[in-house]
Amino acid sequence: MGSWSYEEGFFAQEPWWKEATFYQVYPASFKDTNGDGWGDIPGVLSEIDYLHELGVDCIWLSPVFESPQKDMGYDVSDYQKIYAPYGTVEDVDALLEACHARGMKLILDLVVNHTSVEHEWFKESRSSRDNPKRDWYIWKPARYDADGNRMPPTNWRGYFACSTWTWDEHTQEYYLHLYATDQPDLNWENEECRHAIYENTMKFWLDRGIDGFRIDTVNKYSKRTEYADAPVTEPDMPHQPAPEMWCNGPRIHEFIREMQAKALAPYGAVSVGELSNTPDPAQVLPYVTAAAGELDMVFEFSLIRLGTGGLLSGKYIYRPFALSTMKELVSRWQTFVEGTDGWTTVFCENHDNGRAVSRFGDTSTPQLWRASAKALALWQATLTGTLFLYQGQEIGQTNMPASWGVDEYKDIEAVNFYAEAVRSGDAARVRETLHGLSVLARDHARLPFQWDGSPHAGFTSASSASARRQPPWMRVHDDYREINAARQRGDGDSVLEFYRRVLRLRKRYRDLFVFGTFRLVDAEDEAVFSYVKESALAAEEVPGAPKRKALVVINFTREEQTHPDVGTTLGCKGARCRLLAETETTTSSDPKPGVLAPWQGKVFVNF
């Protein structure tokens, strides 16, 4: 860092997870070591050094528990067992040991808003109305219309294009499920149920040394218990969007504080919650302030949901957006914790969304694909908060080809929304839904990881003959020979090598990029995304140094663009304004000062 260094211990009091780079592994699609076409935990272990060399500090393992796989493991039937195609509990132990041996951490995906219908708790609950576990789930009697027709308890529409209620013939009542019929919601109002969650699901794994959890659907545990109808906002639909009935409910903060006190805090476990339908920073902050004792951090989804239609209906009717809209959202979620003891997260990909380079970048040519993938990497690595990467993001994996048919979509949400569009009989809606799926569908992120140019992209270790009998559970992308980790490894101009460099840069200048403040520059510019990061270190704490600042400029177009003047923006002159990093090295013998090539990004600092 030039002629000065951090004061010894300045960041020593900060928890490890603030400056860590987390990496989400979707195990079904990461690597298959036994040739059954399904990724597994030994596959993650086999590539642990790849992740370590990339600069990963913590692996987040998406659900691996026993499950009928109606929603890719987010329907758990036994929290203390591992779904056999993934491996065993001992395999998780081995992965944990390998992580710790390299100074890395491992967190698991905790799904406790609901279980599978195959979970023993639900089997007992539905066995009779007077079973001791009946109240561990949410059961309600039917309603009847004027003609005596049976109706669900409310008119709520769930996340997968269906009612949130399913009729149980055996006990003659409905049970609530915000997601699929196979995913009944647990009743967090029941204290015995809550404590079983802490003991049976969380402490079991924390006792084995797991470092924490990504907590699924964390703000849906407390529902509004009057169970009233939602307002009719979509007259043509039989069920109505009603997230206000189950998100951020009246007891939610009480429940999370209890979870923290009884399960997380005694182990020093890190927690990152999935906080959906909460676009107001004033509502988010109470979850992440250290004084509240709830969650360490959360995922807020305004940015990553850009382009989606309605949350619970019309989700896959794509809505184009302007760069200025993206800027406003980034600024909002970069600054909402300033002056507080809260914390924020940085991410633009996960298992529930299309690939970032296909949504926010440019895949029209190989050159623009590479340039825009690196631009997105620079953008993410220079933002304040804890950085989360999703598997394949670091090599620029893209959405599935436009030539693939609708039969390639496997995800329950995509299948249900498309079926609903077909049932409508509206040809335009079907076309729009297909287009939206091609950009936004969850399946894009779930294609197998592209390790090399061998058959099935090196995802499976099976021989060609064996692989033909049991191909990967999802089709491998057509471009795997051009985009894969082996091809990019060691290539200084590749997306992978750029990620490695920029992750090291993020750590080296953590005062700017992890802990620094954010200020947007020229919010209305629809071509160049510019912002200033200011160091978390006060100038007087580093004798002789100015207040450290960085200017990040990124061209989000395929044409040359000019960027703000560096000296004016950073308040420095001449040699004190230095180029710290850039996505593409200028090869022209006559470089143009202040000009960005298509999808080029640069970072300047005031040394």
Instruction: Point out the residues that are catalytic.
Output: 216, 274
Helices (H), 15-106: 27-30, 41-46, 48-54, 89-101
- Closest to 173 measured CA to CA, from 130, 202, 225, 214: 130
d(CA 216, CA 113): 7
Contacts of 133 (CB under 8 A, 6+ apart): 121, 124, 125, 193
**Pairing mode, if any, of strands 517-521 and 165-168?**
unpaired
d(CA 324, CA 39): 39
CB count in 10 Å sphere of residue 426? 13
DSSP, collapsed to helix, strand or coil, labels residue 227 as: coil
| Structure tokens given for 73 | 């493991």
Bridge partners (DSSP) listed for residue 298 = 273
Print the SS3 string covering 565-598.
CHHHHHCCCHHHEEEEEECCCCCCCCCCCCEECC
Give me the DSSP letters along 171-190. TTEEEE-SS-TT-PBB-TT-
**Distances from the Cα of 489 to the Cα of 50, 156, 390, 398, 497, angstroms:** 10, 50, 18, 18, 7
d(CA 30, CA 44): 7
d(CA 564, CA 516): 20
* Backbone region of residue 103 per phi and psi (left: phi > 0; alpha: psi in -120 to 50; beta: other values): left
Bridge partners (DSSP) listed for residue 581 = 603
Q: How many CA atoms lie within 13 A of 219 on its CB side?
A: 26
d(CA 467, CA 479): 19
DSSP, collapsed to helix, strand or coil, labels residue 106 as: strand
Q: Give first-to-last CA distance, the chain, whole Å.
A: 9
